[in-house]
Amino acid sequence: MLQYQTRLATLSKLVNAVDIRTYEARDADLDALAAQVGDILDSALAVLDEIVAGADASDESESLDSLEFDPGAMTPTSYLSFDRAVDGAVRREIRSTRAVGEIAFIAQLELQQRSQRLAWGRAQRRKLVVLAECDSALRRVLKAASAVDTAVARAFGGAPQQRFESELQSSLDVRTTYARFRRAVYGHQALPLLKRLRAVGTEIAVLIGRATYPRMRVRDRLLMRQLQSRILEWLRHYEGPRSERDGTRLWQDICGFVDMLMQISKRQELVEHDREVAARLRAELAASGGRLCPVSELSPLEGLDASVDDLLAGADAISAAQLVSLLDGLFGADDMTPPQALRFCS
């Protein structure tokens, strides 16, 4: 099955060659984009079908069934979302042909559904719907290709040709990007309105060029593009009291958008991750006898709350009392579910 790694790598190259960013800021042939994505889905399904058929012919007994329940969620694999099911399957590191086939089968079912959703999206002929379905389909193809590639390499003693990224790691990277974008935007708050909006326009342009930008939700990316267009339009016609009022309203909308991005912390994988980090910090604090804690220990929580981000940006260490107060404020002394403490600008 090692020969399939090359075909899976080719699929990923096809996906990476599609830059949906070019369709976000202008009117473009969305039907051509959808057709291109549909062809990639068909190619992916053809490869997965061969892998599943080859694995079915194997007489190996070790499969994902022997570890049917996700250790974190305690939910049967078949009932998990695609991303969580694949993450759990790859994390188990089962080295068998049957495990390869079962991961490929999970991916096959997901991509079949994505193909149907793409056909529905094309019929809607709405920009947001088409872009969202294309983006989602391409993400799933990348996830499927890298997961099956990893499983094949493990089962047959080869080296993975693709980097598999868990949903948690992707969400952490995006949250970190959001946190730094938010901090950059608020960092311009004291500037006069003209300079402030010009600076925010630059921050948006920088974010659009980052590697994590394509991992943002399409709806959020389009909202950001709209704000960018409004900033440019306002800068072109800046004059007088009315423009000042319009600019102030635009700034408030930017602040609301920046704060809204931080709702990412409600994602299930991040909620679970943040609880685990908080529990670890409490345990380490108890074991240390209340010594100072390096602020860097909070880095896995970057983006959860402005108070965490402020500490990471401006302090080297935090006292035991400060850490307890921070964790209690974010998670509660007993309840470890973090509230959404958002900081709005005036």
Percentage of residues in the chain having pLDDT higher than 70: 89
Least confident of 78-92, 124-138, 218-232, 267-281: 78-92
Q: Is the pLDDT of residue 60 over 70?
A: no
Please report the pLDDT score of residue 59 as a whole number: 56
Q: Measured between alpha carbons, how far is 9 from 153 in angstroms, rounded to an integer?
A: 13
pLDDT band at 70 (very low <50, low <70, confident <90, very high): very low
Across the range 52-76, mean pLDDT stands at 54
d(CA 75, CA 248): 48
- Regarding predicted confidence, which is higher, 137 or 337? 137
Residue listed under structure tokens 């079962």: 102
Tens of pLDDT, residues 203-243: 999 999 999 999 999 999 999 999 999 999 999 988 777 78
* Tokens encoding 182: 């938010």
Contact between 80 and 70 (Cβ < 8 Å): yes
In terms of Cβ atoms closer than 10 Å to its own Cβ (0-12, 13-18, 19+), residue 321 is exposed
Q: Is the pLDDT of residue 342 over 50?
A: no
Q: Are 40 and 114 in contact (CB under 8 A)?
A: no
In angstroms, rounded to a whole number, what is the distance separating the alpha carbons of residues 156 and 79?
Answer: 29
Please state, in angstroms and rounded to a whole number, the distance separating the CA atoms of residues 218 and 215: 8
Angle between helices 193-208 and 240-261 (to 10 degrees): 40
pLDDT of 80:
53
Max mean pLDDT among 89-93, 99-103, 329-333 falls in 99-103
Whole-number Å distance between alpha carbons of 123 and 176 = 36
Burial label for 153, CB within 10 Å (0-12, 13-18, 19+), is buried
Alpha helices per DSSP H over 57-96: 82-92
Is residue 336 over pLDDT 90?
no
- Best CA proximity match to 126, nearest among 16, 17, 19, 34: 34
Token readout for 6 is: 């090359």
pLDDT exceeds cutoff 60 at 72: no
Residue 76 has phi, psi (to 5 degrees) of -55, 140
pLDDT tens profile 241-265: 778 899 999 999 999 999 999 999 9
Q: What pLDDT sits at residue 340?
A: 40
Which residues, other chains included, contact 243 with Cβ-Cβ below 8 Å and sequence gap of 6+? 234, 237
Q: What is the mean pLDDT of residues 98-106?
A: 92
Task: Give the model's pLDDT for residue 321.
Answer: 87
Question: What pLDDT, in 10s, does the model give residues 18-49?
Answer: 999 888 877 778 899 999 999 999 999 999 99
Residue with tokens 């590191």, as numbered in its chain: 93
Task: Output the pTM of the full model.
Answer: 0.83
For residues 164-176, average pLDDT: 94
pLDDT at position 315 over 70: yes
DSSP β-bridge partners for residue 293: 318
CA gap 9, 282 in Å, rounded: 43
